A and B are shown apart, each in its own frame.
Chain A
Amino acid sequence: MRKRHTTKDRLITVALHVALAAGLFFAAFPIYWMLTSSFKSNTEIFALPPTILPKAFTLEAYAAILGDPVKLRFFFNSYFVAFVVTVLTVLIALLAAYGFSRFNFRGKGSLNTLIISTQTIPPITLLIPFFGLVVSYRIFDTYIALILTYLVFTLPYAILLMTGYLNTLPRDLDEAVAVDGGTSWTALWRVIVPISLPGIVATSVYTFLLCWNEFLFALTLTKSTSMRTVPIGIQLLMGQHAFEWNQMMAMSVLGSLPLLLIYLIAQRFFLAGMTAGSVK
């Protein structure tokens, strides 16, 4: 390869690094500011000139959040709903994906198109009928309302993701089970599931993210403070203590932890889940 160390060449490299630094500032400064503000006192956040590092490092904001049972309940609700929806979604999507990947049947193409197109249905369109249904079945302000409505939005993409994964697994494996006289059900649980772990993890990560981030349904289909999830909790916090920015930032940091941890631990699965549908 060419390796010319001309002045022009060096200038380009320097310019590239300057641009990279500018990009880093753009991408990371807001997050840096959130993180450091959560360790500042409320007066220091608006100090002039702004302090880049907390002058008086304090954990008082975190203590205020973690010491308040109402806020802990927000976290419990978010984890609980996201966990239940993830388990249900993965199970149901796995079955559907197995059907799509291993069988040919009438209507397969149109069902596939249906599932692709349901991905883009605007949540706001479904919100009003969901509200009507939830009220008339008396499940307003319950976990069931959230779990059922979240399921509709996690399922289509989870099916596509799992089908894509199962299609990469060789068919000889389940045919071997059929030769031994096993049914497709046995093949699924004995052969497919154990080797589908990467696909299952990617689907779980994606589903969990979607539930953890959901705002509109949680806002509308729950009412009592004890049923609220973290995103709504942050909004409530903003209404109640409009000027306690350090607490809001601490709550935001705590609310971002699951996604950050998943990303750091399972970066590969995270990216697979977030991009598979759009790149293919």
Chain B
Amino acid sequence: MTRQKRSRHRLKRTVAPYLYLSPSLVIIGLLMLLPMVTVISYSFQNSAVLRRDPSFAGLKHYQAIFADPVFWASLWHTLYFTCMSVVFHMTIGMIFALMLNSDRINPTLRNILRVLYILPWLFTAVIIAVIWRLLLEPNGVVNSILMQLGLIGSKIEWFSSPETALHAVTFANIWAGYPLFMVSLLAGLQGIPKDFYEAADIDGAKGYQKLTFITIPQLMPIIISISLLDFIWTMQVFPLIWITTGGGPIYSTEVLSTYTYKLAFSSYNLSQASASAVVILLISLGLTLFYIRYQKAR
């Protein structure tokens, strides 16, 4: 190769990656980063979106949100909903993964059950919401089974009484979300070297000792990273709650996403909704930084 040719080749190697990345970067820049800047600026404007020349509002909308008891209730419900969901997703996912991984069950049965246990994952949030509304109807099958078993005395209105609604939507979300943990932990379990258990057997370790000293420590990286992701995603849940309870009754299942949505598209207070959206963004970004740092440390 002549020198000229070589330098042109080198130039191509330097420019080429940017060209390959450019469509993605344009889309992410224009449709993700720019809107993020926009929503932040909306949150400092009076009547954002609705007026062409909005005036500067300062921190007014943030103050309005922090003074709103419904916002704090939504934050609390979001935390309860998210923490309970993540803990139970992990517990159920772990139990199912350990059961499926046991050598006490026949391989055919294991394969069939693995497919069936994943089922809740294959359904859209809207459909999950509709299924649970049918199951938990006051005249529905759950109430009639519980009454026949004598566990409840009268029909419970799961989604429409303030005492039970939040628990009911959380339960539906727990049901919908454990397969991610199950599948990931099952893959993790199959990756633990068999020698570890054989060495433990030689030392006379009991079943629960193998679980606490080998299995769980080996799965820890998966448990932590999936829990973080699950936490971030569960915090953002919208359709499940929107379709089952719509945030009601009397705000008892209002979460940050439904609270923000109603501010924006029921009250058309887009500025205040933007402030609330920015708060959600900040919480998510904080958790994301934590997640990325954890991934890099590994």
Contacts and interface: CB of A to CB of B under 8 A. Distances in A.
A17 B109 CA distance: 10
Interface in A115-134: 115-118, 120-133
B192 interface: no
A24 B148 CA distance: 21
Looking at chain A, what size class is its interface with the partner chain?
35 or more
A274 B264 contact: no
Contacts of B277: 122, 124-125, 127-128
Contacts of A46: 137, 139-140
B159 to A, nearest CB: 13
A135 B243 CA distance: 26
A105 B117 contact: no
A235 interface: yes
Contacts of A120: 229, 232-233, 284-285, 287-288, 291
Contact of B31 (A93, A152, A238): A152
Interface stretch (A62-70, A194-202, A254-262): A254-262
Interface in B69-110: 95-96, 99, 102, 104-105, 109
A99 B16 contact: yes
Contacts of A117: 285, 288-289, 292
A113 interface: yes
B21 A111 contact: yes
A213 B28 contact: no
Contacts of B48: 132
A170 interface: no
Given A24-B113, A33-B135, A128-B273, A50 B145 contact: yes
Contacts, number: 259
B23 A95 contact: yes
A274 B183 contact: yes
A264 to B, nearest CB: 8
Nearest to B276: A124
A132 B12 CA distance: 40
A216 to B, nearest CB: 5
Contacts of A2: 201
Q: Which one of B141, B261, B291 has the greatest number of beta carbons of chain A within 10 Å?
A: B141
Contacts of B124: 212-213, 215, 231, 255-256, 259
B134 A149 contact: no
Nearest to A106: B14
Contacts of B257: 122, 124
Given A31-B131, A131-B49, A183-B12, A148 B31 contact: yes
A126 B39 contact: yes
Nearest to B232: A120
6 contacts: A34-B127, A92-B27, A105-B14, A117-B288, A274-B180, A279-B184
Interface of B: 12-14, 16-21, 23-25, 27-28, 31-32, 34-36, 38-39, 42, 48-49, 95-96, 99, 102, 104-105, 109, 113, 115-127, 130-135, 137, 139-141, 144-145, 148, 175, 180, 183-184, 187-188, 201, 222, 225-226, 229, 232-233, 235-236, 238-239, 242-243, 256-257, 260-261, 264-265, 270, 273-274, 277-278, 280-281, 284-285, 287-289, 291-292, 295
Given A17-B105, A23-B95, A155-B28, 5 more contacts: A26-B175, A96-B25, A121-B36, A126-B32, A215-B239
